[in-house]
Amino acid sequence: MTTQQDRLDDRLLFPTGFTWGAATSAYQIEGAVGEDGRGQSIWDVFSRKPGRVLGGDNADVAIDHYHRYREDVALMAELGLSAYRFSVSWPRVQPDGTGPINQRGLDFYRRLVDELRERGIDPWVTLYHWDLPQPLEDRGGWPERDTAYRFAEYASAVHEALGDRVRDWSTVNEPWCAAFLGYASGEHAPGRREPAGAVRAAHHLNLAHGLSARVLKNDGNRVGGCVNLYAVSPATDAAADLDAARRIDGLQNRFFLDALLRGRYPADVLEDLERVTDMAFVKDGDQQTIAAPIDVLLVNYYSRFTVSGVPGGAASAAAAPTDTASPWVGSEHVSFVNGGRPVTAMGWEIDDSGLREILVRVAADYPRLPLVVSENGAAFDDVLSGGRVRDTDRIAYLDAHLRACRAAIDEGVPLEGYFAWSLMDNFEWAWGYGKRFGLLHVDYATQRRTPKDSALWYAETIRHNS
C-alpha cells in the first residue's frame, strides 16, 4: 500500500521556467477602506446589510495589507514565489467608477509593484475581483452596458500607471461569480436576485473583458482572461441527470469559454435561457470584441460538481452561508448531490482528477493557448498551536492537485504556472472570517502572520521545482 509519505516523497519535476505563485484579491486583504481617497465598493455596502455576511463581518481592516504590504512581500520572498497575483481595487483608483483618477490609490499599487520587483517576484495584475464602485451599482451595475465601457476606461488608467513595470495582466476574475452570485442568487454583492439581470451582467462582464483586453495589449505585455471551471458529472446515466450535467457545464464553463475563445455563446445554453431572456442586449460586434486575442487563459479550479435533474437527489455538503436564491438561471431545478468524496471546510468535494480533466479538455477543445492555474486551494479548520499550524490536509490537497497539473503536462497541456489560493487567511466574502484558505495563518486580532506547515511544504516544492 502507498502511504501518504511515500506519495509526498515521490517527487515529479516541473518544466524549467514554471511559474510558482500565490494569489489574493484587493477587498479580501487590503483594508484601509476609507483612506487616501478610496471610494465605496459594493462589498462595503453589502457587508453592512444584516444577514448578508456571517457574524456581521466586513473588510474595513481585513488583514491590513495596505499598511503591511512590505512585510507581506518579504514573506512571499521567503517562500520563494516567482510570481504574485493580486487585484487592483477599482474604487481605490477611481472612486466614482468614472471621472477623475485617484493618484493616491494608484501610488499604492506602484509601491507594491516596485517592492515585488525588488524582491524578484513578478507582479500579475488582475483588474477586477468583484469590488465594483458603488456609484456604478447605483446606476444599475453590471446589468447596464455602460459599466463595461467605464471598466475599459479604468483599465486604461491602471495600465498607464503600471504598464511599464507589469508584464502579466488579467481582466475580470471569475465573471460567473460576479454575475450569478451577485445578481441571481444574492449570495455576493450587490445581493440582487434578478435572473434576467444576471445574464445581462454576465454578458457585460464578458464585454468588459474584451474592451479592456484591447486596452492592455501592447508589445511585451501578456493579457489573459480568467474563468472558474468545474468538472461536472451526472449523478447517474439517467437522461435527466445527463441533461443536468450538460446544463451546468454550459452555464458554468462553456458560456464563458466559448465567448472568450470562439466568439459566440453555446446554442444549447441560449436555449436553456430562452424562458428568462431573449439576449437582445447582445449587440452587433459584441462577440468579436469579447473574443479579442489573448495570450494566456487563467483557470481557477476548486472542485467537481455532481448533479441530477431527478427530484430528491442526496444533498451536497456544500451550501451558501446565508439565505440565497439559485444562481443557476434557467436550470434552477438541477440539484447538486453528494459524490461521496472527502470535503474541505467549505463543504467542497476534493477531486484532483477534475483539475487534470479540465486542463486536458480546455487544451483539446479550444485554441492551444498557454494555460495557468491561477487559483487552487482549500479551506480547513486550521489551529495555531505552539506557534505552528499542522495543516496536513492542505498539504495533501496541494500535493494531489500539483500532481494533476503534472499529469496534464504529460498529456500535452501547455500549462505554464500554478498559483495557490490563498497567500494568507483573509475575508472570505459572505463567510466572513470563518474560513481559512491561506498558506500563512493570520491572527485577526494582532495581524500576526505565521507560515503554516503547508507554506513550508510549498516553499520546498518551489525550491526543487518538483
Gyration radius (Cα) of the chain, Å = 21
Catalytic hit among 144, 349, 357, 375: 375
Q: Are 22 and 112 in contact (CB under 8 A)?
A: no
State CA 222 to chain mean position distance.
18
Distance (Å, whole) CA 364 – CA 357: 11
Q: Which three cell numbers stand for residue 267?
A: 446554442
Grid cell listed for 316: 451536497
The active-site residue, picked from 115, 174, 187, 349, is 174
Beta-sheet pairing, 335-336 with 222-228: unpaired
Q: What are the cell numbers at 433?
A: 472570517
Task: Give every strand in the sheet of 335-336, ordered side by side.
Answer: 231-234, 304-308, 335-336
Sorted by sequence, the CB contacts under 8 Å of residue 32 that are 6+ apart come out as 38, 64, 66, 67
Q: How many Cα atoms sit within 13 Å of 430 on the Cβ side? A: 21
Residue found under cell 444577514 = 51
Strand-pair partners of 5: none
Question: Is 174 among the catalytic positions?
Answer: yes
The letter for the amino acid at 119 is R
Cell digits for 399?
A: 500535493
Residue 321 has which C-alpha cell?
452561508
**Number of other residues whose CB lies within 10 A of the CB of residue 367:** 11
Closest by CA to 237, choosing from 185, 310, 145, is 310
CA distance 324 to 404: 33
Pair 128, 91: CB distance under 8 Å: no
Take residue 188 and report the three cell numbers written for it: 455576493
CB 423 within 8 A of CB 23: yes
Where in the sequence numbering do the catalytic residues fall?
Answer: 174, 375
